[in-house]
A and B are shown apart, each in its own frame.
Chain A
């Protein structure tokens, strides 16, 4: 049987042939959750008196409220620490960073593995040639208690990437283009496989961004190949990985989508829905009040370098604010070492602790005032996303965000003088 990546990984984890469409039970290599969704996985396990099946394959990350805004959240985080200690589960403390970033950069996500996280952006980890997907608290609690989950084996949509990224165009623009082409349910329940020589234009960080935003198309998995880029990264971490998982030449794809990077320009997702993708130029000139760079979409070192590139020698336009949250402590440290943080601070940016602040109102970062416009390198622009429904959020690349807060208006970064 000729198989896609998803069919191969799932069949190896289920121990049975797993063609697309089948319902199977599959062993999970890693399960994780954070402090952002109640009921917490740990609360459910405790309520139901279920044990942690494999503590070594379970992780907890305190990322959604890095600065801990109130007593309720403080007690949630305290309860998670107790849970982790009780079961011998590794817990990443506040300030370590966003779960997908931390788990990825620590080399915990391996090619060919099946990973479930209590967060919809778990698809980010597909950049490591893994099958990684988000589920709710009960599903993740079950995976933690049993070491397995049920899945309907997805059909696969193959994305062929060609060309090169032009000046001023970033991985986030690739991600937005993908969501724009597929729409909010164009890849519903499917696995996305990315292939093509255009991938050479995307670093591991860039691939994480694309896989991250892939969840907005309804996709279950978003998988990048185990190619030279990924192999080199693992080697740099002293981690030996095998060939990774490739699809068979005769594998069956539901659809093939072409994405040519050369033809891309800087994009935005206009307020209200991530699929509202348009060239930045269509909104050029709209006044912005606040910019956000960070989150699991774009808080990586390359993203911060892009922002510094734009901000160097410049200042934010009067009355504008820019919140920058490095996606992890490691990114934060490296940005400091490279002088990026100094450049950002000099320009007037506000540096925020590593975590999910700036993504949703729960992060208590940058809640905008009524009538304000935010331009964000984050993941979502749904009404009220940042804690105030009377505002508008545009999604864009870090470079576009930076250009916009410097000019004070939505600005194609290639046009900034």
Chain B
């Protein structure tokens, strides 16, 4: 799973409330229609600027707070190809994989807004394009990569019938 795109940079402790507020996620089912509400307080209009395959890059504890899967789904619907962060809120981490969004944990200090990256989520290799800089993150375990690549947990389970931890 290799993604190349522009960096949209965020800080620490970005909550799922910031990604999509509670009153939005209760009512809406169609994530594509909801995509315009992504970060509506923090970075209004972001969705219209995202090109498919762009990357969200953040500090610690990205996606902390509520368990709403809509937070991950709406990022995907808005065209985000993957998320890099120093660490993830645990429920968000699962939700991202479960909706088919690749995630990678690594030191993101110095990766700036607007940079272009090439990320291999299988190996954890991150290249900052145009600089020759390379960083390495800890890739997802094989089982979770398979879930993300299958397009999400339930799709994976329809294909395999069960969780296959040892591949």
Contacts and interface: CB of A to CB of B under 8 A. Distances in A.
A361 B143 CA distance: 37
Interface stretch (A34-42, A101-109, A158-166, A341-349): A34-42
Contact of A384 (B21, B95, B153, B163): B21
A23 to B, nearest CB: 6
Given A24-B165, A44-B154, A184 B91 contact: no
Nearest to B31: A39
Interface stretch (A89-97, A141-149, A237-245, A322-330): A141-149
A50 interface: yes
A391 interface: no
A28 to B, nearest CB: 12
User: Which of B64, B72, B143, B153 neighbours the largest number of chain A CB atoms within 10 Å of its CB?
Assistant: B64
B98 A218 contact: no
A336 B66 CA distance: 32
A23 B145 CA distance: 14
Interface residues of A, number: 52
Nearest to B28: A38
A387 B18 CA distance: 12
Nearest to A137: B69
A40 to B, nearest CB: 8
Nearest to B23: A361
B21 A361 contact: yes
A174 to B, nearest CB: 21
Given A64-B26, A135-B91, A361-B22, A185 B154 contact: no
Nearest to B161: A146
Given A37-B69, A150-B143, A220-B90, A138 B153 contact: yes
B18 A72 contact: no
B13 interface: yes
Given A48-B154, A148-B163, A382-B15, A73 B27 contact: yes
B132 interface: no
Given A38-B25, A185-B61, A218-B61, A139 B98 contact: yes
B158 A48 contact: yes
- Main SS class of interface, A: loop
Interface string B60-102: 1100111111101100000000000001011100110011000
A134 interface: yes
A64 B165 CA distance: 34
A64 B22 CA distance: 10
Contacts, number: 140
Given A25-B163, A382-B17, A384-B41, A218 B67 contact: no
Contact of B17 (A37, A44, A146, A385): A385
Contacts of A83: none
A65 interface: yes
A391 to B, nearest CB: 12
Given A142-B157, A184-B13, A37 B61 contact: no
In the A-B complex, the 4 residue pairs with the closest CB atoms: A136-B69, A360-B22, A136-B95, A138-B98
Interface of A: 23-25, 35-39, 43-44, 47-48, 50, 64-65, 70, 72-73, 76, 118-120, 134-139, 141-142, 145-146, 148, 150, 184-185, 188-189, 218, 220, 273, 360-362, 364, 380, 382-385, 387, 389
21 contacts: A23-B143, A23-B165, A36-B25, A37-B68, A39-B69, A48-B155, A120-B91, A135-B95, A136-B67, A136-B72, A136-B95, A138-B99, A142-B157, A184-B64, A185-B60, A361-B22, A362-B23, A364-B23, A382-B18, A384-B21, A387-B22
